Structure 1
Amino acid sequence: MTARAIMVAAPRSGGGKTTVTLALLAALKRRGLRVGAAKTGPDYIDPAFHAAITGRPGLNLDSWCMPPALLGATMQAAQQDVDVVIVESAMGLFDGLVEPKGARGSPADIAAGFGIPVVLVLDVSGQGQSVGPIAKGFATWQPDVHIAGVVVNRVASARHAGLTEGAITAAGLPVFGTLMRQAGTPLPERHLGLVQAREHGGLADWLEKLADKAEQELDLDAILAAATVLPDLASVVDQSAAAFVPPPGQRIAVADDDAFSFLYGHLSLFWRQTGAELLPFSPLADEAPDPSCDVCWLPGGYPELHAGRLAQSQNFHAGLRSFAQKHPVHGECGGFMVLGGALEDADGTVHAMTGLLGHQTSFAKRKLHLGYREATLVADCAVGKAGTRLRGHEFHYASVLDAGDDLPLADLRAGDGTPLGACGGRRGLVSGSFFHVLARVNTEA
């Protein structure tokens, strides 16, 4: 069966996109449909919730980081062996960089590029008929983005539902459901977003209740009818090879636990498809990388929440140091923090890290670093050859207390081209930075 797709979007973050997406996935899976999902933009946390329902890798679609062929290959992977793909929007539907057109990193780029209709989720708390002009504006703002219908969220009463539904209908849009306001917070949050799916012991029960809510308050038949058939994108897969970040080795030791979980799904999926093996290990369980591996990858995550345990994981420290004498080790964001000499937690306690690089970081002195990044490698490392240009993002609150004296890893630019200077560090076979990579811009210098 050919897969169909629908996008769940909103005017802003915090409007209920994730709740509606998870509710749809859970309810449609309960109906016996094979469901897949993707998230627009750079994000690890929401795709992990998608994966918990679908049993498939959580994938991302980003029009600024990913060239069209890589976007196509990732969408082809998302629709493989499924009946319907739910694409969850990041931020607001039209939010992104100012340019270039069609590649701003906005969810609208993905909706327009693949012809995916949009279910617009409107948080109507504190509003009545004013939601009508908002819906009308979104429906007419960009002609190649089709708003198929509206889900009205956080409705206070039957009267409130009547006012908001009537205004949206008057704006010429169908209402696909009305979600009544619920007391409490459905999912707890922390500084980088929702608490990770793997940390929720009661996630399965919560998802069952969410499926119940979707069946009671959403018009699932209308939403399914609005979903459009995705094109067969198999022909673009071969063209996307130049934008893939190639596997850094044949056997890749990957840190994987509550402190290290931010590895992009398309990277691990495509690495495996090229024949690479990913061997997970847990630094929190004091495990070291398998010495038979060719390379060790320390993803981002929440090491700042587990700094004490990581400092005490002496087998991990010793094993990683031994591994780094013969094989490349690379750390992204949280992984980079653990490669440094010390990490200061939120309470101001300083914990010794692996010391494979010389920097020291602090979570006590918090400052948000957020945005698209393009990195040009200045030396060969696990991520690529010198001169390779990579696109990705930066998202962390940690500050660098002491930059150390390691050689820089890359030259960095913001998404709008603003030079940001050198980033990261490298020493011997060890490299790392706060930069999360999604794709290559070119293959080699």
Structure 2
Amino acid sequence: MDHVVVIGAGQAGASCVAKLRNGGFEGDITLIGAETAPPYQRPPLSKAYLMGDMPLERLFLRPEAFYADQDISLRLGTEVSAIDTDAQTVTAGGEQLRYSDLVLATGSVPRRLPAAIGGDLDGVFVVRDLTDVDAMAPRFVTGARVLIVGGGYIGLEAASVASKLGLEVVLVEMADRILQRVAAPETSDYFRALHAEHGVDIREGVGLDRLIGEGAVSGAALSDGSTLDVDFVIVGVGIAPGTALAEAAGLTIDNGIATDAQGRTSASHVWAAGDCASFPYRGARIRLESVPNAIDQAECVAENIIGAGKDYVARPWFWSDQYDVKLQIAGLNTGYTHVVTRDGGAAKSFWYFKDGTLLAVDAANDPRGYMIGKRLIEAGKSPDADVIADPSSDLKALLK
């Protein structure tokens, strides 16, 4: 009997098992998750859920009964300790499961501060799963002092929630500017001004030397010689692909679990999808940390297990919610040479070009700009920069 085992009950794992059944797979399916909650959405964790605007049940991707109804064995609170690719077995919760195909949807793990600089003190948090958010939620009280380490999207989203709830927020970013790794200076400027309007103290070019406290964090010493009194700390310094199991099993690792265009890893009958997987893209190898990628790649793997034989075609897009601003990002800006700003007042977008080729768009409260930019990128069309820069121009005409 065919038996597909999926390790990782996040967005990619849940999407994979649902697609298998939807696609007509009639064998056994087992979905294994380390957490005790059924598969849930992660983006609202640090926003609507943390603010109390979304109850736990609304986080769930599907009602828990779905898995039983679809004859999917859902094993929660279960750690996988080993994979044997020769015997085609997985050791989970002390039990050995044999698979005909194995899907690794092991996601990513947050980078933490070293214990040597106070990273293990009580009151130091990362934002990754329900346990993290449930642990920090009681600290979000008016007047509390929070230090956020890292000026990427995770850190900025945490800052916006903390500010809205009335906390005193200091954010430090070691690089010259916030979002330096992922966005142009124009996008950084936009969000720096937005956070300043809401009272967030952003300090760029300033690192964390060490946290201060006996058992629990009470302060921080910064690289510019200043010190802060803090009640708690949120660390948002990036994530790493969850490759430990794959490495131990001898799979090829290259900025994640390396797959071919269809999602196969270096081991027979073993596939990977989501944050943990790197794959071929336009002559290079990339890894995408996003919900859309987790869904699309996992569904492609499911179809290929059934026999579709199709390559995964990535259409990179991302989003971030901060205050009343929804940022939507289409494409990848790697290698851009210049940025064109389209300023429509409340709606603003930043268009990345490599010479004359459109690579990506950052659209802030500009859904039309995002939608049209996304369609242009997917079609391989590059508009005239002067047309983009003129807020009175008809963007839709560019699609014709």
The reply to whether TM is greater than 0.5 is no
TM-score, normalisation: structure 2: 0.28
Structure richer in helix, relative to its length: 1
Give the TM-score, by structure 1 length. Answer: 0.25
